[in-house]
Amino acid sequence: MGKQTGAHPEPLHTGIQPQSRRRAALMMDVLRDRWLYVMLLPGILYFVIFKYVPMYGLVMAFQDFKPHLGFMDSPWAGVRHFERLFGELQFWTLFRNTLVLAVYNLVFFFPAPIILALMMNEVRRSGFKRVVQTLVYIPHFVSWVVVVGLSYILLTTENGLVNELLYRLTGERIAFLLEAEYFRTVIISQQIWKEVGWGTIIFLAALTGVDMEQYEAARMDGAGRWRQLWHVTLPAIRSTIVILLILRLGHFLDTGFEQIFLMLTPTNREVGEVFDTFVYTKGMTQGQFSYSAAVGLFKSAIAFVLVFGANWLARRFGEEGVF
């Protein structure tokens, strides 16, 4: 008999299923890049131990938690702690203070590293640029205790440097640390001074990826430095700005416990008391663990909604987003 034409050859039966082949290929990839996975391991362990495992404690927000009974045997409370939170007379004061500081942070602090990175990118003398980078990075490693101590030394009405200059110029001194109207300005100023330099790292790295030929083309078209900044530099780092903005919204209501707590006084508490300090007061000093856990969960729920909403808007407008 002749050969059959048009017939498909029978597949070879090697005894290895497609799933097994994929598993073997995956193991080969892991073995090939094993040192990359080893380098990734500390970061994974950090998030697992300090971010994911503590989520089990959220059950405390729905219990009347008793330390001697533990999570398993503490009595169930349902949503009673959330009802108490929303019915608290102090709730709207806390929410307003936290929201105002969060908006100030987003409006004034978030753009500051971008502006500083753009300014540093224009510096052409590499030696001077390195010196400036070092000087603006250093405050990040200073603790908030030291920052607040420096603020007291500079702003106090008794021989404070700022008030001494004001007195020589105007004949008056201002109680920056006691008057409530200056509290938020001082808080945001401290954050900018401490963290603006550290925040430029990512943006400077993004600026190194800008195609220099685009600048050449812009110059040939007659664009000056401002035009190049607006039409070349900012569009090149726009995706980085969007991603960092989305991630920032995940910490929108995190105003910083240590800084706020150290700056609080009886005269500015009306505008300075926020959810972070409230949780500390209720949880650590008064032992109301379940109630403070409910407040923390409320903050996390708002952050969750903000992150997903911002990511959805970013993708709608053509950006990559975080996920």
pTM passes above 0.85: no
DSSP code, position 208: T
pLDDT digits (tens, 9 = 90+) for 102-152: 999 999 999 999 999 999 988 888 889 899 999 999 999 999 999 999 999
pLDDT of residue 158: 86
Q: Are 102 and 253 in contact (CB under 8 A)?
A: yes
**Mean per-residue pLDDT over the chain, rounded:** 88
Give the closest residue to 289 by CA, choosing from 87, 94, 88, 71: 71
Give the closest residue to 118 by CA, choosing from 134, 129, 104: 129
Place of tokens 């993004």: 206
CATH topology of domain 65-316: MetI-like fold (1.10.3720)
pLDDT digits (tens, 9 = 90+) for 183-219: 999 999 999 999 999 999 999 999 988 888 888 888 8
CB count in 10 Å sphere of residue 167: 14
Distance CA 311, CA 322 (A): 6
Dump the DSSP string for 88-128. Answer: -TTHHHHHHHHHHHHHHIIIIITHHHHHHHHHHHT---HHH
Predicted confidence (pLDDT) at residue 1 exceeds the cutoff of 50: no
What percent of the chain has a predicted confidence (pLDDT) above 90? 53
Distance CA 226, CA 219 (A): 11
pLDDT digits (tens, 9 = 90+) for 219-252: 888 888 888 888 889 998 999 999 999 989 988 8
Q: Report, as an integer, the average pLDDT of 10-26.
A: 68
pLDDT digits (tens, 9 = 90+) for 36-77: 889 999 999 999 999 899 888 889 999 999 888 888 888 999
CB count in 10 Å sphere of residue 56: 9
Q: Report, as an integer, the average pLDDT of 301-309.
A: 91
Taking the domains of the chain in order of start, what are their residue ranges?
65-316
What percent of the chain has a predicted confidence (pLDDT) above 70? 95
Residue 218: φ, ψ to 5°: -65, -40
Any idea of the CA torsion for 195, 201, 204, 208, to the nearest 10 degrees? 180
